[in-house]
Structure 1
Amino acid sequence: MEESGIKVKNLRYVTSQPWPFPQSLMTAFMAEYDSGEIVIDPKELLEANWYRYDDLPLLPPPGTVARRLIEDTVAMCRAEYD
């Protein structure tokens, strides 16, 4: 992942959503952590961090691709760890 400096594996497509920027489409993928440390590219990200699924910061609005990815991940974590 170029914006955060970490490497991922087992990349899989989840969904897509039209984006307000002209003629853009946001595509959403899930992946597993492979290696590396988070390094923020300030031109791309304001913040990047690891969070526990039961202690997340403010979430994106419902109905967004970002929210769906987070909710899917939380559901997988709850199924595995709770």
Structure 2
Amino acid sequence: EVKNIRYFASQPWPFPDSLMVAFIAEYGGGEIKVDGEEIVEAGWYSAENLPTIPGKISVARKLIDWFREHYCR
């Protein structure tokens, strides 16, 4: 469950003519559920212990950098 969902940014995604959209939300409770198609893997990570993260030009990386700036002091 998530709450307080807010739009963060978007970027074009070349295949197949798609758009990647990023949102910020608060965790409200419950277990992570993946659909096995669009999302095949998900997990909880601390900002200090992230898996390999995307390059700086991706919206995913911009979202991670935003989180670190606001919550890791």
Q: Is TM > 0.5 for Structure 1 vs Structure 2? A: yes
Percent of aligned pairs with the same amino acid: 51
The yes-or-no answer on 1:60 pairing with 2:54 is yes
Match for 2:21 among 27, 31, 34? 27
Q: TM-score if structure 1 supplies the norm length? A: 0.77
List structure 1 runs of 4+ shifted beyond 4 angstroms.
none
Number of aligned residues? 73
Equivalent AA in structure 1 for residue 38 of structure 2:
E
Counterpart residue type for residue 29 of structure 2: S
TM-fit CA distance, 1:77? 1.6
1:77 matches 2:68: no
Q: Distance in 2 between matches of 1:23 and 1:56?
A: 29
Partner Cα separation in structure 1 for residue 61 and residue 10 of structure 2 = 12
What TM-score, normalized by structure 2, do the two folds share?
Answer: 0.85
Question: Residue 34 of structure 1: CA displacement?
Answer: 1.0
Amino acid at match of 1:12: R
Q: Secondary structure at the match of 1:55?
A: coil
Deviations 1:25-66 (CA, angstroms, capped at 9, x unpaired): 222111111121012221222311100110110001111000
SS at match of 1:35: coil
RMSD: 1.4
- Range that drifts further, 31-40 or 17-26: 17-26
